[in-house]
Structure 1
């Protein structure tokens, strides 16, 4: 069907070979999974803040980010 993705191409062959220009190719990024990860991180941070307090968590993050 010429719309395979192997090997990776700038656009699928079916779009390149469409003589009537009826097919177009546009990449989009899906945000659903990233939002889910952000939710998990927020839940984890909220749990740490509840257990250890905001100041302790922020001090630890600052210390870790300095390397």
Structure 2
């Protein structure tokens, strides 16, 4: 017997997308997130935007934490 997948709201999905960068999701959270993203284009766009912002921030942090070798 399997547990039913909890249908996530857009707010819950956004929270999981943002927090998944810092913490691992449970199997249930990951399944619910994937199911919601499969059906919600707005949340897919938001996830893409989060990914771009986090990537840009990581690039900026890498540049600012490198020692000055001049």
TM-score (norm 2): 0.34
Larger Rg: 1
Structure number with higher helix proportion: 2
Q: TM-score, normalised by structure 1?
A: 0.34
